[in-house]
Structure formats: structure tokens, C-alpha cells
Structure 1
Amino acid sequence: MGEGPELTTERLLLRRWRESDRAPFAAMNADPAVMEHFVNPLSEADSDAFVDRMEAGFERDGFGLWAVEVRETGDFIGFTGLSRVSFDAPFVPAVEVGWRLAHHAWGRGYAPEAARAALGFAFETVGLTEVVSFTAPVNQRSQSVMRKIGMRPDLDGDFDHPRVPEGHPIRRHVLWRIGVDDWRTT
């Protein structure tokens, strides 16, 4: 849909979104396993609106949440990338590194591989000095990715996510951080 920065890793291509990504992305966002640590799965319309917001992020910021494909096959497997945190929290303003992959792509090391590339772009190209990530405490898979890419938990940074309803089991979130100096040494 848009032109812009692409990132390549050993096995993956992080690229701008294509119209052909919408259907597999909607299927992924409707998968209860993929959406286990979110308030609820996304409808097709909500998934499409998310793609539009991700593309707008590239236009606005020069970076965003890239569509991820496996280079060998060209298969779309989800997204990974950078986004400005758009809600109010004690650590904002901040840029988050995030990912969401289709269930069939789990357990292959794709999330940390893609996230490392996104962090490299954040620090080496954009010139950021810190990147954050956050998730519900029960989301051990995402926290494992955070650990693998050199992030550290901010034990004083846990917060109630303002976009999660009060009383919801995933309202509380843990905050992880990585600074440029830590990035350079990992």
C-alpha cells in the first residue's frame, strides 16, 4: 500500500502492508489462541481498520508495524515493529516494539528475529534512545521474546492499561525497556 523502509533478516522480510495481507491478518486476529491476551478477537472490519492505522503510522512517523513474511515462501505471518504509545501512562511519550504472529508461526524464533531488526531500526536509523514493550503478566510468550531481545522488566513500571476495561483480568500490564546502550552490548 505504501512505500517505505523494509527490513530483512536471515529468514524474514518486514515490509509495508499489501491488500493481500488483509484476509490472513483478519483470520489471525479472529484466532482465539493468537488473541488470548487481548480483550477480545477482532472482527474483519476492526482488523482492516488496524491495518489502516498501521499504514498511517508509517506515513506519520517514518516507521511502524511492518507486515512480516517468510522470505523462503513469501507467506505472510503477522506483524512486528515500532509504534508510538498512543494512550496516557506514566512512561509516555514512548515508542513500543510489538509483534503478533499467526499461531502456525509460533515456536520458530520469528518474533525475536523480527523484533531485533525493528530495534536495530529504532536505534540506528530513527535515533531513539529507548524502546518499551508491555503485556499482561500472564503472557509469558511475549515476555520471553522481550527477554531474548535484551529488554529488561521495569519493576516499578507496571500499570493498568487504560484501554482495557476495569476488572478485566488483563488490565494490569508489565513494562519492559531497552536503551540504546543496552542494545549495543547485546
Structure 2
Amino acid sequence: MKLATPRLSLAPLDPAADAEGLHAAYGDPEVMTWWTRPATATAAETQRLLAEENARSGAMLWTVRDEGGTVVGLVGLLGAVEIPGLTWILARHTWGRGFATEAAAAAIEYAFTHAGLDRVEAWVEASNARSLAVCQRLGLVRQGTLAQRYAHRTHPHEVAVLGLTNPQHKQEPTPVLRVEPVLPVTDVAATLSLLRAVLSGRVSFSVGEPVEVAGLVLGPWSVGPSIRLVTASGAQSAPVTLALDAATELDELHRRAVASGAGRVEPPTEQPWGVREFTFELPEGHRLVFSAPA
């Protein structure tokens, strides 16, 4: 189905016919700075990439043209994902004109009105100010953060997950807003100090003198991933394993864990499922398994 906005026309993607025009975006290293793969070298490579994306189950992709009929980019919903993923890419010479917002808004309207989807989400690198601004104008709300490392990148990075629900559908409250693991430890204050040094965490609360219960937030905001520490009783002595998805450099985390001089620290190893990880065992036997994209 073709779509139209005040300044743009959107036609279903035809990889063979549209690759030459779209190569202006996909072949530009600056445009592809935020992409999951490096810039394509030729229009033929762009065509192969477009064909792969278009063939994924559930994909709805449109080629975007300006008022003069020139191909300026691509917008739509990714296929082969559990939650419909909003995507867009525009040639660099069109940036700053509001085309991304205009085209993405048309794709969202189609998704909600014609496709009957109940939600869409966008994954945007946390430092990509332009795309985050587009999401804000579209009304997408930040739902969380993931650690990613693309094959052509030398370092991992944070990805913001932003979502928008269909206003025509009844919205149920989120059943769980946050999960907070509880670690029973012998000395809450000492463990709190240790984890702050290793994880650069922030104390959200502490109760008692000496401290009997405390919270440690592992991020810069008032809410986010956190750990609760409590004074152990005899019934709470069983060791607990926590898996921590790290967005920072794993080697630096490992260095800080070793430097703490507490517990046992295993060296980082690469796992078959695409992450590097190491285990930091606290004196009580609790195991913190740190992982980051390989």
C-alpha cells in the first residue's frame, strides 16, 4: 500500500528498482555511523541488503521520495522480530528537514490503523541525538536500555529501547516495573562499599546502625537496575547467582573486581552465545556473572 504525507510519497520497497537511489544513504559511512553494519560498497551490495530485509517475515518497508520524486530514504517496520521494530534511514543531504519524523509518522499510522498492531518500538543508540529527537517528536517513550556491540565496532555501546502503544487499544498496566534481587550478606556495609567500588553504583537507601538493609542502584538515574543487600540469617545462607549485563568495558570491570581484593575473580572468557563474561564470587559464595557483547 502506498502512503503519502504533505511532502513525501512512500511506496512499498522494491529492492531491485530502489537500490540505486537508496545507496546514497546505505553507502555513506556518516549515515551508517549508527547502523548495525558498515556502509555498503556498491549499489549491488545495497540491493542484496534490502532484499534480505524485505524478505523477513512481517517486514513492512517503504521507499521514501520527496516532492520531486527523488528517492531520499527508507522507512518502515522490521521483520522477524517479536515486537514490531520501527526503522528509518535518510540520505545525508536531506537531514534537518523533518523528513524522518514525517515518514515515520506515516508508517506508525499505517501500523496502528491498517495493520492493527498494538505497539511499535525503536532501538536507538543512546548517543544518537538526531534519532532520539525523532522518537520524541513521534511520542515514543523510553522503556529501557540494552548493551550492544556490532561486528564492525571496536567497543560496545548502549541502545535505548523506545516504545509507542496504539491509542485505539485498551492499555493494561505493566505487571512488573522492576525486578530487584536480594543478596543476604554477613556485613551489609562492607559489601555495599565493595560493590560501589566495582560497579560504580549509588546507594539508594540504607537502614540501621550497623546497616541491616541497603539498596544499590547501578545507573545514573533514580530508577534502574539495582541490588538489595540484607543481613543474612541462618535460613538465608544459600549462595545466589546474579547475571549482570554490562554496557561498559568488561576488562575494566574485571580490573576493578581484582583490585578489590575480595572474593574470587575468574578471568573473562568468550561464550558461544556471543558474549564475554567473568564471574566474581563474593565471600559469602554469591556469584556475580558479568557479561558484555563479545
TM-score by shorter chain over 0.5: yes
Specify the code of the residue in structure 2 equivalent to 1:82: L
Q: Report the 3-state secondary structure (helix = DSSP H, G, I; strand = E; otherwise coil) of the residue aligned with 1:82.
A: strand
The aligned residue for residue 99 of structure 2 is 110
The aligned residue for residue 25 of structure 2 is 28
Q: Deviations over 1:87-124 (max 9, x none)?
A: xxxxxx11011100000111111100011100001111
Cα distance in 2 between the residues matched to 1:67 and 1:77: 8
Unaligned runs of at least 5 residues, structure 2:
170-294
Bigger relative contact order, structure 1 or 2 (CA pairs below 8 A, ≥6 apart):
1
Percentage of matched positions with identical amino acids: 28
Specify the code of the residue in structure 1 equivalent to 2:27: A
1:1-186 matches, within 5 Å, as 5-18=1-14, 19-38=16-35, 39-44=37-42, 45-57=44-56, 60-61=57-58, 64-70=60-66, 72-84=67-79, 86=81, 93-154=82-143, 157-161=144-148, 164-165=150-151, 168-169=154-155, 171-181=157-167
How far does residue 133 in structure 1 lie from its aligned partner after superposition? 0.1
How far does residue 83 in structure 1 lie from its aligned partner after superposition? 1.4
User: More displaced, 33-42 or 144-153?
Assistant: 33-42
Q: Residues 166, 35 of structure 1: CA spacing in aligned structure 2 closer, same or farther, 3 A cutoff?
A: closer
Divergent runs of 4+, >6 A: none
Q: Deviations over 1:5-48 (max 9, x none)?
A: 11111111111234342122223212122112134212324311
Equivalent pair of 1:30/1:43 in contact (CA under 8 Å):
yes
Specify the code of the residue in structure 2 equivalent to 1:73: G
Equivalent pair of 1:64/1:83 in contact (CA under 8 Å):
yes
Q: Deviations over 1:30-68 (max 9, x none)?
A: 2122112134212324311122124324xx43x512100
Equivalent pair of 1:80/1:115 in contact (CA under 8 Å):
yes
Cα distance in 1 between the residues matched to 2:153 and 2:75: 29
How far does residue 182 in structure 1 lie from its aligned partner after superposition? 8.6
Q: Residues 32, 167 of structure 1: CA spacing in aligned structure 2 closer, same or farther, 3 A cutoff?
A: closer
Q: Report the 3-state secondary structure (helix = DSSP H, G, I; strand = E; otherwise coil) of the residue aligned with 1:40.
A: coil
Cα distance in 2 between the residues matched to 1:174 and 1:165: 19
Equivalent pair of 1:152/1:176 in contact (CA under 8 Å):
yes
Aligned length: 166
RMSD across aligned positions (CA): 2.3
Specify the code of the residue in structure 2 equivalent to 1:79: L
The aligned residue for residue 90 of structure 1 is none
Q: Residues 7, 166 of structure 1: CA spacing in aligned structure 2 closer, same or farther, 3 A cutoff?
A: closer
Equivalent pair of 2:13/2:61 in contact (CA under 8 Å):
no
Q: Report the 3-state secondary structure (helix = DSSP H, G, I; strand = E; otherwise coil) of the residue aligned with 1:98.
A: strand
Q: Report the 3-state secondary structure (helix = DSSP H, G, I; strand = E; otherwise coil) of the residue aligned with 2:114.
A: helix
User: More displaced, 118-127 or 47-56?
Assistant: 47-56
Q: Is the strand fraction higher in 1 or 2?
A: 2
Q: Which has the larger radius of gyration?
A: 2
Equivalent pair of 1:16/1:55 in contact (CA under 8 Å):
no
Cα distance in 2 between the residues matched to 1:116 and 1:27: 23
| TM-score normalised to structure 1 length | 0.80
